[in-house]
Structure 1
Amino acid sequence: MEDRTYTADAEPGDTVTVAGWAHELRDLGGIAFLIVRDTSGKIQVKFEKDEMDDDLVETGLNIARESVVQVTGAVEEEPRAPTDVEIVPEEVEVIAGADPELPLDPSGKVDADLSTRLDNRTLDVRKPEVKAIFEIRAEILRAVREYFRSVGGTEINTPKIVATGTEGGTELFPVTYFGQEAFMNQSPQLFKQLMVGSGLERVFEIGPIFRAEEHNTPRHLNEATMIDFESAFIDHNEAMDVCEGTLHAAYQAVEENCQEQLDLLGYDDFAAPEEDFPRLTYEEAIERINATGELDEQLVWGDDLSTEAEKALGDEIGGHYFITDWPSEIKPFYIQDYDDDPELSKGFDLMHPRMELVSGGQREHRFEALEEGFEQQGLDPSQFEYYTKMFRYGMPPHAGWAYGVERVVMTMLDLDNIREAVLFPRDRQRLSP
């Protein structure tokens, strides 16, 4: 609409045309008020029944909530209005009427459960506090992309339909691909490694991954959006530096650019972390977890960290932290082991007090050692020849990591369920919308 004015830009003395949704109608007898909402905010439209054309008043008073409307009129100062101004309408048009019976209340006055909200996501995101979550998510992605470019990263896009899985077949979604069996990719891991062996050297990707895990928890999804990074000629310590840099950049951007959204969500004291994230070895981590006395059984070397163990350590540390130097047997085949201690890997995780966020490490770039890693984990190297053969042609030392956008949003905003951080979740029960 060429002549459209956003409600936030309407100034006293202007004649404007605003377009948006009918948020609320209040009929007080001789006077009525229609609240119109658009992406910038809300504005009051005043109908003085005895002083206006009957057809105009009738149109205004018969608009169902959430109908799409267009209003043209003079903007006047009105201190009693929600935004200190109101429109005295000359024209009112219902562009698209809404059914009077809505499946949920976008004004938020009547609560709806999460399942109802997700079934009607378009209506749900009309609520300012829900929209705020996705505006913050967008700002996180913008800040992360900008940070990657500041450290010399090139954005890439890798296939999501693949012939083999990245980490075995138990978590793969099979698809039929022109008569052949193929799979939805679990990760761009192998492809981004191939790219650090190209002239690009330092790459990142933001895109979907698919995991057929049969879980049903508040923090797992079967389709997630991952932020992946890989770089040649760095080790695991330098990879952690970049990883930490992206999180600092994301938090700082939200603090600086999303105050309105944070206010809507009730975060009066939101502050980006200023300190470096502590780095604990796996051995130090299990010692500190055991010392808390929160677990029924003490952890021993080689144990993975349970949810209870992560919570115990997270409560003690109180912020983001890395766990480094994991046992080799816990980490994937492509993670490099220490030459002087092959039972110890150069893998790391970045943890939030609530949950794991990032998995990464230095990769094995030597062809013979890589093939041995496949065999140790029961994988057939010949199925990954497209990947392994490139390591015969000069693969540089490299390291990288990945984390899910949804988990960052969830932990940053302290959301109860990861589904609140994704528009259209995919889990065991939800394939539509």
Structure 2
Amino acid sequence: MDDRTYTADAEPGDTVTVAGWVHEVRDLGGIAFLILRDTTGKIQVKFEKDEMADELVETGLNVQRESVISVTGDVEEEPRAPTGVEITPDSVDVVSEADPELPLDPSGKVDAELSTRLDNRTLDLRKDETKAIFEIRAEVLRAVREQFREIGCTEINTPKIVATGTEGGTELFPITYFGREAFMNQSPQLFKQLMVGSGLERVFEIGPIFRAEEHNTPRHLNEATSIDFESAFADHEDAMDACESVVRAAYEAVEANCQDQLEALDLADEFEAPADSFPRLTYEEAIERINATGELDEPLVWGDDLPTEGEHALGQDVGEHYFITDWPSEIKPFYIMDKDDDVSTGFDMMHPTMELVSGGQREHRYDQLVAGFEQQGLDPEAFDYYTRMFKYGMPPHAGWGLGGERLVMTMLGLGNIREAVLFPRDRQRLSP
């Protein structure tokens, strides 16, 4: 529709054609109102029954909610209208009639369970607050890409069908690939390391990852979006600096460019980008602070992974984004470089409510890398495409992976990570 005007652009004195969905119809007797909604907002259409053709009035008032219509008419100022203007229609065309039995109420006046909303995501996204989440998500990804380019990264795309898993045989989705067994990739980890040895040196990727997690919780997915960074001639400190800059850029972009969306989510007054550098706690300091809270039945000792309740206790104690560094070597992946026999260069970046990032300096020395495979019970030969490249001059390098949905979830205080995914994939959900 070349002559279409968005509702937000309709000005008094204009003659316009607007198109969108029927949000609401209110019949007050001699006068009636239809609220039309498009991607920019809503506008009131006024029907004065005694002054208009019966057919025009009948079309406007009998159309079902959520039908797609086109309205042509004059725009007039009306302070009592929701947006201060209204249209007196010359014509109303029903483009696509909606079924009167809607599976959920897009106006939001009647709540629906999350499962119902996900089953009918197209309708769910017609609600301002749901749409706002994905407009913010889009802004986050835009800002993240821009920040990666600001720090000299090249965007790459790595395979999602692989012969071996990034972290061994656990949590893998097997598939049949022309008669051979293959897997959906858990992470671009090995490929992005190969790229920093190629001469690109500093790379990033934003793409899907697949994990056959048995967890069925509000913060786990089986298909997620991973935001990945890897840089040659960098150590774990450099990687943490890059991580903080990317997360901060995402928050600053949302604060600057998404006020309408934050308003729709009732977050405009409280949302703000991180003001200070993220604290960096060692793993040893972290377990000491968790133990000091008294929230766990048994105190943590060196070598324990942090339980969810421990993360929550520490997050409440710290109260902002923070890093945990110097993790025990035994609980970090084979590709993480060690500082010594017990301590690795691995780090996690945390929101007060959950882990967002895992990273570290990588082992770039061939013999030590192969030894790391063997220590974790993995066959180096199965990863020959990866390990042999380390024979040909691999620079020191470091990087990390950030969960895109977790970033949006924690940024907006969403109760379930599925709220930040258009069509989630978890243990129960494979459609739509």
TM-score for both structures, normalised by structure 1: 0.99
How far off is 1:321 after superposition?
A: 0.5
Query: Which residue does 1:125 correspond to in 2?
Result: 125
SS at match of 1:323: strand
Query: Which residue does 2:323 correspond to in 1?
Result: 322
SS at match of 1:263: helix
Query: Which residue does 2:97 correspond to in 1?
Result: 97
Pairwise mapping of residues 30-109 of structure 1 onto structure 2 (< 5 A)? Answer: 30-109=30-109
SS at match of 1:378: coil
Query: Which residue does 1:171 correspond to in 2?
Result: 171
Structure-2 separation of matches of 1:269 and 1:432: 35
Aligned AA (1:285): A
How far off is 1:170 after superposition?
A: 1.5
Structure-1 separation of matches of 2:284 and 2:214: 31
Structure-2 separation of matches of 1:332 and 1:252: 32
How far off is 1:291 after superposition?
A: 1.1
Query: Which residue does 2:295 correspond to in 1?
Result: 294
Pairwise mapping of residues 225-374 of structure 1 onto structure 2 (< 5 A)? Answer: 225-267=225-267, 268-338=269-339, 341-374=340-373
Identity of matched residues, %: 81
Aligned AA (1:143): A
Gaps of 5+ in 2: none
How far off is 1:151 after superposition?
A: 0.5
Structure-2 separation of matches of 1:343 and 1:83: 64
Query: Which residue does 2:430 correspond to in 1?
Result: 431
How far off is 1:202 after superposition?
A: 0.3
Per-residue CA deviation, residues 194-251 of structure 1 (Å, 9 max, x unaligned), is 0000121100000000000111100000000010000000000000000000011001
How far off is 1:420 after superposition?
A: 0.3
Per-residue CA deviation, residues 3-40 of structure 1 (Å, 9 max, x unaligned), is 00000000000000000000000011111100000000
How far off is 1:375 after superposition?
A: 0.1
Q: 1:16 and 2:47 equivalent?
A: no
Structure-1 separation of matches of 2:279 and 2:375: 32
How far off is 1:327 after superposition?
A: 0.4
Structure-2 separation of matches of 1:213 and 1:9: 47
Per-residue CA deviation, residues 162-208 of structure 1 (Å, 9 max, x unaligned), is 00000011210001100100000000000000000012110000000
Structure-2 separation of matches of 1:311 and 1:11: 51
Structure-2 separation of matches of 1:67 and 1:85: 22
SS at match of 1:345: coil
Q: 1:415 and 2:414 equivalent?
A: yes
SS at match of 2:70: strand
Structure-1 separation of matches of 2:394 and 2:407: 32
Per-residue CA deviation, residues 296-327 of structure 1 (Å, 9 max, x unaligned), is 11100000000011011111000110000000
Structure-2 separation of matches of 1:409 and 1:343: 34
Aligned AA (2:357): V
Pairwise mapping of residues 150-229 of structure 1 onto structure 2 (< 5 A)? Answer: 150-229=150-229
SS at match of 2:341: strand
TM-score for both structures, normalised by structure 2: 0.99
SS at match of 1:344: coil
Aligned AA (1:85): V
Task: Give the CA RMSD over aligned residues.
Answer: 0.5
Aligned AA (2:21): W
Moved over 3 A (4+): none
Structure-2 separation of matches of 1:110 and 1:126: 14
Q: 1:401 and 2:397 equivalent?
A: no
Query: Which residue does 1:387 correspond to in 2?
Result: 386
Structure-2 separation of matches of 1:425 and 1:320: 26
Structure-2 separation of matches of 1:42 and 1:163: 51
